[in-house]
Structures are given as structure tokens and as C-alpha cells.
Structure 1
Amino acid sequence: MFSADTFDPVQVTRILFEGFSSHAIVLFYLLGFGAIGVFFYGVFVQVRKYRRGQPIGAPLALGERFLQMCRTVASHRTIMRRDPAAGRAHRMIFYGFALLFIGTATITVDYDITSKLFGLSFWHGSFYLWFSLVLDFAGVAMIAGLLYMMVRRGWIKPPKLDYKRPDRKPGDPDYDRSGYRREDWAFLWTLIIIGITGYLLEAARLVWLQERPEVWDLRWWSPFGAALAEVLRAGGLSAEGAGMLRSGLWWFHGIIALTLIALIPFTKVKHIFTSSGSLMFRDPLAAQRLPRQPADSEKVGYTAITDFTWKHLLNLDACTKCGRCHEACPANASGAPLSPRDVILSLREFANEALQKNALPDEVKLSVHGKDGGQVFMETLWSCRTCMACVEICPVAVEHVPIIVQMRRKLVEDGDMEPQLQKTLQTIHKTGNSFGESKRKRAAWTKALPFPVKDARKEPVDVLWFVGDYASFDPRNQKVSQAFATLLHDAGVDFGLLYEGESNAGNDVRRVGEEGLYELLAETNIATLGTASFKTIVTTDPHSYNTIRNEYPEFGGQYEIEHYTSYVLRMLREGKLTIRKPLGSRVTLHDPCHLGRFNKGYDAPRDILKAIGCDLVEMPRHGDNSFCCGAGGGRIWMPDPVGAEKPSQMRIKEAAGIDGLEVFVVCCPKDLTMFEDALKTAGYEGKFVVRELIEMISEALDEQTVDGSADDSGTPAAENAGAPLVAA
């Protein structure tokens, strides 16, 4: 490979318009400015659309957000998750396109700005050669990534890229999504044509100028273009023919590139900007901490598309239709009429139709609820489990769950809900719990304990245990509560309860969309907590844990709170609890949504299982990819369709694939209820059992004699010491 030093450095460059008349050059600039003008008009239309949304009402640390967005985009961290092949291909396209864009911008700066205004030119000599080499490899990377994406869509065809809608049937206004498929292919073909014609153009230029040593002798600084030039020469292409080919390709390549620039704001290409913006304004607690309803608001939730915040309107445009949320959604997997992707795309279509016009349509035509094109069905919204699987996996930070809950608030306001759900909400309002039991019975389970449990409202305690509805009133979960109380007592923990002063924490009430009732519950619990004297709160209910930790502070309730798993793990590590009987059971662990995805509590339950001597085998979906039990978002208070497979049954089947499984371990009261029922209905009763982690811990702490009697301390011997274990 020759060096630029062999020639006059000024001659080692590429003359952009060589061989073109002044009229042709003027025409190109007119086309270029026209494309830029269309681009900026499109940007204006999009910005106007976002400005028609509502403010988010919170200050933004733009500097830190921008840097975080740049790190995420540069690393491709969110795109690589759970689909590394697509992530690698996208990385090749992204970096290839970015380098080619930077290269084009560099040429523009040199040719149209610095050389003409200041007489300074740097696009020649060694700089030009290295520039050419880098861009040659960048173009190949981009084309390779595009080819993989074509193969993926055309031949591999992963189900998540199928745009068939679960919430529509043929004949519905917006059932047909073939337009999206055409747009996807047009995007891929446009980029690949730009890339391929770029190499052909480079090869034709080299053949055309083969008599110039400063061009031909340095051709291998553009290795792929040079190799193609050799092929063209071998095929009989003359210098004159190459000149004609170069002229035609120059216009073809240039017009396609300018058309792409002009159409960016109106097509899929705009995701380059909207996805980056969505990542930049990402709320790390989007689903964990839902927004309050402004006290002075005349509307409840999202009624019209103009009720959406500008950030949520930006989310709609950021969606790349990758289908990861569609694939992760438990409602969709169980046949419910919900795909998070389709909700977002429907709302995007609605927003574009309503908000991109010069004048807004009337209020009726702005409603996002209904059966018309772009509107979202009531049945779709009520299918959501608010498990956050969609928000967690979305590579561009779309906030599906907050959008769905805001739309649910309107349904609740209008009374458009399942009768059973409405009855449960009325019951919670009346009694403070979802079981309809008297408040005086909330701590009735403590009467069976051989020791008293303090009332934290009457005497100070170190630890306040916020029990929750299911752990207080459900007979099966009451046994778990008794086991945990015994564990705390035996460890010498100074703990107490709120007794009848405790009400439903409101986490699921809020995710149903009943904001008024939620605020009443939150304020009632905060007032009661204000009458108690304690240092920290521990809860066995992940749902209560989430809202007290993340949402109560907005109402003035700032507390130190732990889920019992992290609290017990610390006691084990500090020697306050001693494992006397390692269990040796083969187990799998279900990550509760509100402990795992919502609050990143993945490690403590696993560390406890290891500490008590269990052989933990993970299910295929675990950690942040855990599959929801189906109880969240108020669905535990709503009937499932007759004959449909429930998410809990699907999860039990997944666990059943583990050879020799003895125990399906949970650490959430609702999970215990859902999965014990699913074990029976899915047909696996007797093959393994569902147990609460607290029960496993209690068994491992018991010191048992050989004949199974109680130890010297009088502690009852653990039931089911041998394998297989039987549920209590």
C-alpha cells in the first residue's frame, strides 16, 4: 500500500464535482437545501405534536441525563439484552451509519465551509487516506448488519416480529399492520442500496481515474472499493464507461440519500432521534412510582391524546416495534387481548392522525378509548398485570405500564370495569382490606402463637412488621405469618404490628387505576405509622414493600423499609440465626415482580436458599426476565376467561421441566396463593410442592432429633423433614 508522501498531498483527495457542469452542481445544491427544508419542516411538525401534550411537572437534570443516554446508546446495553444476535447486527448498522454520517459531515465542513470561507482544507493527504480506509470498513459493517436483519425478517421470522394483533380481528379498523412491514423493508433496502451504490460509485471512480497515479496507486486505502474496481476492470469496463457509470450512480446515490434525509421525521428513521430522546428522559422508577393525579385537574387519567405528557408522546414515537415487550408480556402469552407493543403503536397512529395537523380536531375525536382506529379497547387495558416485564425489557425506555394505568384511571372514573373488581374496590374502601373482614380480625392469626406480639402503636419496637392483606387474612398465608413471627421471636427481634390500624397498602389499588382510593389508603397508613414508635419497617409482602418504599415518600411517608428476604439474610450473616438442619432439597425460585423487577431484590432469596442448603436450579425465565404469576395490577380480583391458560399455570409448567424438582419456592403471599392453585389445575400436584421461603427457613432453623420429636428447647419439630416435601 503506497503512502501519501509519494505524491503531492494536495492531489491525494477526491474531487467531489469533477466532470459536472456548473448547472448540475447548482441543481444538486438546490435538491440538498430542499431536502434539508423538508427535514426541518418535519421536525417542526413533530415538536408541535409533543408540545400539544402536557408538561411532566418535574425538573430535569439534562446534563446527567444526556451523558447517561450517550453511554446507553454507545454500549448498546439495552439492545443486546435477550437478543444478542440482533444487538450485534444493530451495533454494526449503528456504528457503520454513524461513521459514514460523520464522514459526510466532514466532507461538507471541508468543502463548503472551511475551504470557501477560510481557505483551509484538511481533506487530503494522509488524513484523507485514513478517512477513506475507516469509512470503507464502516460501510461493510453497515451492509453486513443490514443483511442479517433482512435474513432475520425474511427467513428466521421470530414470532415477536409478527405484527398480528391479539386485540383485533380481521375487519377491525386498524387490524392490518402490513404497512409497518412495508416500512421495515423499505428502510432496510434504502440503507443497503445507499451502501452498495456507495461502493459501486467508488469503484467506478477508481476505474475512471485509473491513469492518475495519485488515485490508482493509492486505491487500496479503500480496499473494498478497490476490490470491486478490479472486478469491474476484469469484466471489461473501460475508463470511459466507468466515467458514465460514475455519473449515473452519483445522481442515483445522491438523490436516494437526500430523500432519506428529507423523510427522517416522517418515517421509521426518526427512531434515531426519538429513541435517544426517550432514553434521555427515562424515569428509572416509571412503573414503581406512578404519578399523582393533580388536585386541580378537571380530568382523571388519560381521556384524550392531549392528556398525555409530552414525554409519553415521545415514547410512542420511540417504539421500534422490536416485539420484546410483546414476547415478555404474560397477558399476551396467555391469550389475553393485549400486546404492549400494539397499545403503543395504536396510540402512536392516533397521535399522528390527531396531533400532526395544523388544527386539533374536536374533543370527541381526541378520545383514546373506544373501538375505532388507534383507540384502545377496555378489555385490552384490563388484561395488563402491570408486572413491568414490558418496561424492563424495552430497549428504548417506553413506559407502557404508566400509560396503561393512566388510561385505566379514566375507566375507573367511568365505572367501566369488571363487577367483581368494582365490588373489591368498594370492599377495600369500606373495610381497609380486600377480604371484606373486620379490621379487628387483621391480627387474629397471632392468637395461635405461644407468645404475645406487641402493638407498635402502644409500645415502641425496633421493627414494625407491615403484614399486608393476604398474609393477614388468607388461611394458608396465615401459617406463613405465624412461622415468620416465630422466627423473629426466636431470634430475639423486638418487633410489633399495627394490628387493626393497618390498612391495605394500596399498591394494586393504584395500579388498577383507583387513584382516589389509593391516596386515601396511603394517607391513612401514613397517619397510623405516625402514631407508632419504630426504627425500621419489614414486610413479607412485595406489593406493600414497593409502594411504601417508592410511593409513600411523595405523601410524606419516608421510612426505612426492607423485604423480609434481605432482613433474614442479614440476620443469618450476623449469626443471629443459625442453620441447624441443611435441607438438601432441589428447588427453583420464582422472582416476585414487585420484589425483583420493581426493586431489584434478586440476590437475597437466592443467597438464603444456598445458606439453608438447597440445590437451586433456575427456570429459563428468572431474574429480570421472571414470568409474572398473573396476580398483579388487580388481576387477582378479576376472573380469568374460562378455558384460557393462566400465567401461573404456564409458570408451573416451566418449573416442571426441571428434572428432580422438589420445591417451587416463592416469597410473596399472592404468589403462594396463585401457584398452589396452579399446581393443582396444571396437573402437577404430587410431583413437587409450592412453599414460601419463610417455611423453608423455619425448617432449616429447627433442630430435630433422629425420631422426629421436638428438640430440647421445646421448639416443634419441623414437619416434612424428608424428601419429597409436602406443603404445610
Structure 2
Amino acid sequence: MLSSANFDQATVTRILFEGFPAFAIVLFYLVAVAAIAVFAWGVYVQIRKYRRGQAVTGPIDLRARFADMVRVVLSHRTVARRDPAAGRAHRLIFYGFAVLFLGTATVTVDYDITARFLGFHFWNGNFYLGFKLAMNLAGVSLIGGLIYMMARRGWIKPPKLDYKRLDRQPGDPDYDRSGYRREDWAFLWTLILIGITGFVLSALRLVWLQDRAVVWDTRWWSPVAALLAEGMRGAGLDSSAAYVIRTGLWWFHGLLALTFIALIPYTKVKHIFTASGSLMMRDPLAAQRLPRIPANSEKVGYKTITDFTWKHLLNLDACTKCGRCHEACPANAVGAPLSPRDVILSLREFANEALQKNALPDEVKLDVHGKDIGQVFMETVWSCRTCMACVEICPVAVEHVPIIVQLRRKLVEDGEMEPQVQKTLQGIHKNGNSFNESKRKRAAWTKPLPFQIKDARKEPVDLLWFVGDYASFDPRNQRVTQAFATLLHDSNVDFGLLYEGESNAGNDVRRVGEEGLYELLAENNIAMLGASKFKRIVTTDPHSYNTIRNEYPDFGGKYEIEHYTSVVARMLAETRIKPKRSLGYRVTFHDPCHLGRFNKGYDAPRQILSALGCELIEMPRSRDNSFCCGAGGGRIWMSDPVGVEKPSQNRMHEAARIEGLEVFVVCCPKDLTMFEDALKTSGYEGRFVVRELIELIAESLVDADGDGPAACDAREIVAA
């Protein structure tokens, strides 16, 4: 630390504007005020834009959300997920920039407030020396992070940073997004020049004032600047030349920094604020629990840009174009005309064009649907699987899926959907199921069973089983359903069904965008559940599980509900189920979107596989990064283009790369349907089999002599 015997504490400082005439100081302050005014106007325009959106419904706990935002920003955990190198570089930039900004603010407070008005000067002595060291380290951090980001864009070039649009053709007026690349490079070069010139200025000051002991003898508190100064002196630079160069560079550095500040609201730099705001407004159940349409609302969904909530307009500006949603999207992976990033950027461009003007254009020019510049194509909206991969990975909490569903709601309202989707929705409305079968057939799968299952509408049960459409009507899934019923019966579980009283839970109906039908289904099921006596609900359908757990409470239906995997895992742990043999299969497991990403149900299926003696080999995309089967969001009711790879086939290719794989395990009726079909069409039939986890459980309960429930041996099927 500084010795008072060597220097007067007050002299160990840096005199601002040293060597500058009065007119130059006045000019600098005028430029600074102008920069702040430009910044303030830009902030006003942005706030006005958000105010032109709709209000956010429901209570918001700002204190809790602010605390969570601060934790996320300081930890950078969302930035580092699945891209740790970029996360580390961004931390260097963030913390370097933050310290440099706070340092500059500290100097301003000392010089323009405390010293000028209070006669108190604190930017000296030991504080000043520690300040210099901190600023040097922050500068190194900033420049180091920026250099990596430059190398990443210019040399590494990850595909997710390619802004090529999937929903446009070359030659379309809004196909070219090279402007974003130019903006990215301008941002990086501006920051790195500010950092580098800051170091050079400090070094030139040292050379200029090298005869002043209080400056030169404390130079190593600025180690980078001191090294540069030693190099300059070694190259023959003297004090007078250093002063001349410093003067010119000082203006360049100062004007560059002030320009950077002025342009914050108009460029990608504003993500410093909009990303923080988006994170603070983050709803952890944004995609799991979609918003209701207010009863008094005259509009359904998002037709115009002014129909968006101010929060979703903020989401559009928060996007940093990092491409993680683009990389994770199953529709994008198979060549569908959808990139979640492109949707957000298109809507951002549209919002900026329409809402940043002093007066709003007419409603026709506010319509976000269509084929014109900036509009979102119908084909793009319907390509979404609503699997939440984009929402899950977004580092700044952009709500892609809720925005896309709001766009769908308007398309459904106008009847702009595939005929098969419309036919399916009509069947659900008429008969309560997506197979358009008579309600009386919902429990037909129970008839071959050698025991009677209770009707929970007529007698109380401990466990009410909400079966779901595919598990009730699809012949392949019915075998799985019967196996699970047998498992519960043989384990002496007191369970029952709603029989024909059960209707489609509505999860996919809602994500298609048919909110009116969803509310009808939810209200009917809640009424039926309210007339039944049970302690808790189990379901073998993750889609039903999600909406009953997360969305029915908004309609007055709050229940204790579990997916069957957690029920079975607990029964195995309590030895209420005792496997008679170890299966020994080499398996991989597919995490269903609605059980995994939506509801964090990752562990129970794996615990079951371990208890059954299976060797689990994880696919590269697993748990929260699991790859959607392609059925979600009503896509199971839509036809995929002929000759185009399906997400389920893409997943089969991934599984097939596991050496010696015997069983591809699922725990969702839709997954079973999608992947068994994909196994055949992707050419892997005979190499391994697709099995529901329930089938493996049933197989483990058969001893070597064949005593126990009927089950098929997976190895025999592959061999055949």
C-alpha cells in the first residue's frame, strides 16, 4: 500500500482534463449532454413502444423476480448452458464492462458532485491505487472476452450464428440479414477499441508525466499501462510527443465512448437492459401454463403487433440472436420453415417499424400475419411442436412458445389451419377424443382383462387413473394400458377410472390454439373429477399430466397428480413391486417433452430402468435437451411433407449410433406411436425395438419359468 512518507495522499490521483484548455472542457460537456439527450430520447421511444402493447394479466411478485434476475445475471448460468466457452467469454465481457462502467461513474461522482459541491475528494491515495488496479484487470477481462467472441464469429463460425432465414427465399425483400452481422461486428469493434484506447491513454499519460514521481513511481498499480509505457519509452517516445498523441487519442476515446452510450437504445447494446428486464419478468411456467383469454376480451390471440403484451414486446428486444433456440428446435433440425429466433427477430423488426413512430399506422399495417415484409407466415406458425426446447434454453427468458400459440389462436379463430386439424378438433368437440370414436368405447380396452376396474364416479378409490386418448383408443397403446392396469391390480392398488366420463385433457388442443374448446374440455373434466371421490390422480400420458397439473388450477381444478413413472419408482423402492429377473438390456431412454422439460420428471424413469437391471446409455440429447418426437402442439394430427425427414426419424438416427442398442425406451403413448413408425421408416427395424417402459416392467415380473404377467422378450423380437 501507499506510504505517506513518500507521497502526500492528496497528490496520488489523476487530475481530470489535465492539460486541456477551458473551451475543450466545455466542448466535452456539451457533447456529453448531447449524447445523454440522444440516449434519453431513445429510452423514451422504447418505453412508448412497450406501452402500446397490452397489459400483463395476473399478479407479479417483482421482489422475488428481481432477486432471481440478479442471481441469473451475476452467475451467468443461462448463458453458459450448453455453450460453456461462450459463457466464460461473456462473463469476462460482462464483469469487465461492469467494473469499467462503475469506475467511470465513480470518477464522475467524485469530480462533478462530491468535490465540486461538497468539497470532498475521495478519488486519491490508497483508494485511487486500488481503483487503478481494478480498472486494469477489468480492461484485460473485457478485451479477452471480446477477442474470443471475435474469433468465434470470424473463425470458429458455429452454425447457430448463421442468420440465414428458413422461412424466406433468396431474393425476398427481407431475406437478407447481413445487417445483423454488421451490427455484431460494430458492437465488438467499438467495445474493443474503447478498451484498447483506454490502456494506451493510460500508458501515454505515464510517459507524458514520467518526471512526476507520484505518477511514475506508482505506475505498476496499472500493470498493463505500465508495460505499454515501458515499451513506448524503449521505442524512443518522449514526454512532449506522448502529450500530443494523448490529446488526439483522448478525444477519439471520449467521443467513441459517448457515441456508444448514445446509441444504446437503438442497437443490440440495449440487450444490457432488455435482457435483464426479460429475465425479471420471466414466468417459470410460461409454456407449461398458457394464459387464458379474458372473458371480456373482444380479440382472440395475436393478430396485430399491438395485441402483444408489453412483456412479449420486451421479449422481442431481449433476444441476443445467440441461436440456441434455433439449434435446439426440432422443426428447424428437419428443415421445416421455422426458427424460433427468426420468428422473434421478424416480430422485433415489425414492432420497431410500426411502434417506434410518433403515430401508429392503420390496423392493416399492424397485422403480423401474412407474406409481406416482416410478417410471419402461416406455415411457420404451424411448424412449431410447442416442445419448449426454445424456451428452456433461451438465456434471456424469451417466451417463444406462448407467443407462437397466441399467433395460432388468431389463425384458428379465422379457420386458417390444415383440414385434418380442423376435423380432429371437430371430433374432439363432438365425442371428447381425438380419434372421433364414441365416448362409450373409451374404456373398451378393459373388457379383455380378467378383473374389473372400479368406476371412480360410483365408488371411492385411492388412485384415479386419467388414461388419455392414445392410451385408450390406439390398439398398440391399449396393450400397454392393459399391462399397467394389471400391474396396479396385482400390486393391490385401489384404483379406478372415469370410464366414458373422461374427455381429452386438452393439452394439445390448447397448444393448437383452440382456446374455447380447451376451456370446454377442462371444465367438463373438472366437473367429472369433482363428482368423483379419490385421493390423487395418476396418468400414463405426459400431455394430460402437464395440463391437469399446471393449467387446471386456473379453472378451479387443483389436484395431486403424478405421472406413472414416479408412482412405480416409489413402489419399487418400497418393494411393493419385486422384479423376478434382471432384464440386462442395453437401452437408451427418450425424455418426453411434457414429462421432462415441462415438469422436470427426469429421475423416476431412470430409477426404474436401473431397478430392472438395464444398462442405460444416454443419447447426446437427453433430459432438458431431449429431442421432441414431433407429435406435440397438435403436429400428430398434421401431415408432414413427403420425403422430408421427421423429428422422430432424426431421433432414431441418434439412437442408432449407440453400439449394441437393444431397446429404445419411452414412457408416453404418443412417443410410442411416433417412434415405432419412425423405426420402420428410418430403416432400423430389426436392429433394436421401441418399447414402453411399462412393457419392460411387466417383462421383469415374469420369472424364468414364465410365471407372471404375459410379456414379450425384446431380444427375441430383434432376433426375429
CA contact (8 A) 1:3 1:218 kept: no
One-letter amino acid of the structure 2 residue matched with residue 118 of structure 1: L
- Cα deviation for residue 143 of structure 1 reads 0.2
Kept in 2, the 8 Å contact 1:688–1:724? The answer is: no
Give me the whole-angstrom Cα distance separating, in 1, the residues matched to 2:450 and 2:618. 37
Q: How does 1:295-374 map to 2 (within 5 A)?
A: 295-374=295-374
| Residue equivalent to 1:516 | 516
1:651 is aligned to 651
CA 1:665/1:5 → structure 2, altered by over 3 Å: closer, same or farther?
farther
Cα distance in structure 1, aligned partners of 2:443 and 2:167: 43
> In structure 2, the residue corresponding to 1:462 is in which secondary structure?
strand
- Superposed, which structure 2 residues align to 1:241-640 within 5 Å? 241-640=241-640
Measure how far apart 1:236 and its partner are.
Answer: 1.1
Whether the aligned pair in 2 keeps the contact of 1:4 and 1:12 (CA below 8 Å) is: no
Amino acid of the residue matched to residue 277 of structure 1? G
Tell me if the contact between 1:662 and 1:725 (Cα under 8 Å) persists in the aligned partners: no
- How far does the alpha carbon of each residue in 1:214-233 deviate from its partner, in whole angstroms, 9 at most, with x for none? 00011010000000011111
Shift in Å, 1:702: 2.4
Question: In the alignment, does 2:715 pair up with 1:723?
Answer: yes
Alpha-carbon distance in structure 2 between the residues aligned to 1:477 and 1:631: 15
Distance (Å, rounded) in 1 between the aligned partners of 2:160 and 2:466: 41
1:234 is displaced (CA, Å) by 1.1
Given that 1:690 and 1:727 are in contact with CA atoms closer than 8 Å, whether structure 2 keeps it comes out as: no
In the TM superposition, 1:52-91 aligns within 5 A as: 52-91=52-91
Q: CA deviation at 1:717?
A: 4.9
Partners of 1:64 and 1:687 lie apart in 2 by 51
Deviation at 1:579, TM superposition (A): 1.6
Q: Distance in 2 between matches of 1:349 and 1:601?
A: 37
1:670 matched residue in structure 2: 670
Query: How much does 1:305 deviate?
Result: 0.3
- Work out whether 1:179 is the aligned partner of 2:171: no
Identify if the C-alpha distance between structure 1 residues 727 and 560 changes in structure 2 by more than 3 Å, giving closer, same or farther. Answer: farther
Aligned to 1:536, the other structure's residue is in SS state strand
Residue 719 (structure 1) shift: 2.9
Partner of 1:50: 50
Identical aligned residues as a percent: 77
For 1:487 and 1:603, how far apart are their aligned partners in 2? 21
Report the Cα offset of residue 650 of structure 1: 0.4
Q: TM-score, normalized by length of structure 1?
A: 0.98
Deviations 1:46-88 (A, max 9, x none): 0000000001112221111111100000000000000000000
Measure, in 1, the Cα distance between the counterparts of 2:525 and 2:408: 24
SS at match of 1:82: coil
- SS of the counterpart of 2:534? coil
Asked whether the 8 Å contact 1:207–1:239 carries over to 2, the reply is: yes
- Given that residues 65 and 280 in structure 1 are in contact (C-alpha distance below 8 angstroms), is that contact kept between their aligned partners in structure 2? yes
Question: Does structure 1 conserve the Cα–Cα contact (< 8 Å) formed by 2:699 and 2:709?
Answer: no
* Contact 2:326/2:390, CA 8 A, preserved across alignment: yes
Q: Once the 2 structures are TM-superposed, how far is the Cα of residue 311 of structure 1 from its aligned partner?
A: 0.3
Q: Whole-Å Cα distance in 1 between the matches of residues 453 and 668 of structure 2?
A: 22
- Quickly say closer, same or farther: Cα 1:727–1:431, change in 2 above 3 A: farther
Query: In structure 1, what residue type is equivalent to 2:711?
Result: A
Runs of at least 5 residues in structure 2 that lack an aligned partner in the other structure: none
**Partner amino acid for 2:342?**
D
Structure 1 runs of 4+ with >4 Å offset:
1-5, 724-728
Aligned counterpart, 2:188: 188
Rounded Cα–Cα distance in structure 1 between residues aligned with 2:21 and 2:499 = 89
Q: Residues 443-480 of structure 1, C-alpha deviation per residue, up to 9 Å, x if partnerless?
A: 00000111001111011111000000000000000000
Deviation of 1:22 (Å): 0.6
1:259 aligned partner, one-letter code: T
Contact 1:703 1:717 in 2 (8 A): no
Q: Which residue matches 1:697?
A: 697
**Residues 651 and 632 of structure 1: is their aligned pair in 2 closer, same or farther, counting only changes over 3 Å?**
same
The number of residues matched between the two structures is: 720
Tell me, in whole angstroms, the C-alpha distance in 1 between the residues paired with 2:267 and 2:23.
Answer: 32
Equivalent position amino acid for 1:152 in 2: R
- Deviation string 1:246-271 (CA, Å, 9 cap, x unpaired) is 11111100000000110100000000
Whether the 8 Å contact between 1:435 and 1:473 is mirrored in structure 2 is: yes
After superposition, the Cα gap between the structure-2 partners of 1:693 and 1:5, relative to the gap in structure 1 and judged at 3 Å, is: farther
* SS class of match (2:447): helix
What whole-Å deviation, never above 9, does each CA across 1:475-531 have from its counterpart, x for those lacking one?
000000000000000000010100000010000000000001101111111111111
- CA deviation vs aligned residue, 1:193-240 (integer Å, no higher than 9, x gap): 000000010000000000000000110100000000111111111100
CA separation of 1:519 and 1:291: change in aligned 2, threshold 3 A: same
Does residue 201 of structure 1 match 2:193?
Answer: no
The CA deviation at 1:4 is 6.2
Structure 2 counterpart SS, 1:703 = coil
Report the CA distance shift for 1:724/1:100 in structure 2 as closer, same or farther (over 3 A).
farther
Quote the Cα distance in structure 2 between the aligned partners of 1:61 and 1:495: 39
Residue 725 of structure 1, CA deviation: 5.0
Change (3 A) 1:146 1:470: same
Quote the offset at 1:333 in angstroms: 0.4
Letter in 1 for 2:102: I
**What is the alpha-carbon distance in structure 1 between the residues aligned to residue 641 and residue 23 of structure 2?**
70
Q: Whole-Å Cα distance in 1 between the matches of residues 44 and 486 of structure 2? A: 65
Contact 1:466 1:538 in 2 (8 A): yes
Q: d(CA) in 2 for partners of 1:385 and 1:5?
A: 72
What per-residue deviation string (whole Å, max 9, x for no partner) do you get for residues 13-61 of structure 1? 0011110011100111111111111111111110000000001112221
Secondary structure of the equivalent of 1:286?
A: coil
Pairwise CA distance, 1:295:
1.6
Give the match's secondary structure for 2:16: coil
Q: Contact 2:592/2:668 (CA < 8 Å) preserved in 1?
A: yes
Contact 1:4 1:129 (C-alpha < 8 Å) held by counterparts: no
Deviation at 1:122, TM superposition (A): 0.7
Q: Deviations over 1:520-562 (max 9, x none)?
A: 1111111111111111000000000000000001011111100
C-alpha distance in 2, partners of 1:724/1:35?
A: 75
Residue by residue over 1:558-611, the C-alpha shift from the partner in whole angstroms, topping out at 9 and shown as x without a partner, is 111000000111111112111211111000000000000000000000011001
CA distance in 2, matches of 1:716, 1:339: 47
Is 1:219 matched up with 2:212? no
Q: What is the rounded CA distance, in whole Å, between the counterparts of 1:231 and 1:313 in structure 2?
A: 51
Q: Using the alignment, how far apart are the partners of 1:309 and 1:691 within structure 2? A: 43
For residues 663 and 4 of structure 1, the distance between their equivalents in structure 2, rounded to whole angstroms, comes to 76
Deviation at 1:716, TM superposition (A): 3.9
Aligned to 1:233: 233
TM-score by length of 2: 0.99
Instruction: Please give the alpha-carbon distance, in whole angstroms, between the structure 2 residues aligned to 1:346 and 1:648.
Output: 28
Task: Measure, in 1, the Cα distance between the counterparts of 2:150 and 2:505.
Answer: 49
User: Contact 2:470/2:670 (CA < 8 Å) preserved in 1?
Assistant: yes
Q: Look up the match of 1:113.
A: 113
Distance 2:6 2:220 in 1: 15
> 2:686–2:719: 8 Å Cα contact kept in structure 1?
no
Partner of residue 155, structure 2: 155
CA drift at 1:701: 2.1
Q: Distance in 1 between matches of 2:718 and 2:99?
A: 62
State the alpha-carbon separation in 1 of the partners of residues 711 and 30 from structure 2. 85
Quote the Cα distance in structure 1 between the aligned partners of 2:153 and 2:353: 28
Structure 1: gaps of 5 or more residues = none
Alpha-carbon deviation of 1:3? 4.9
Helix, strand or coil at the partner of 2:715: coil
Residues 654-702 of structure 1 show CA distances to partners (whole Å, capped at 9, x for unaligned) of: 0001111000000000000000000000000000000000001111122
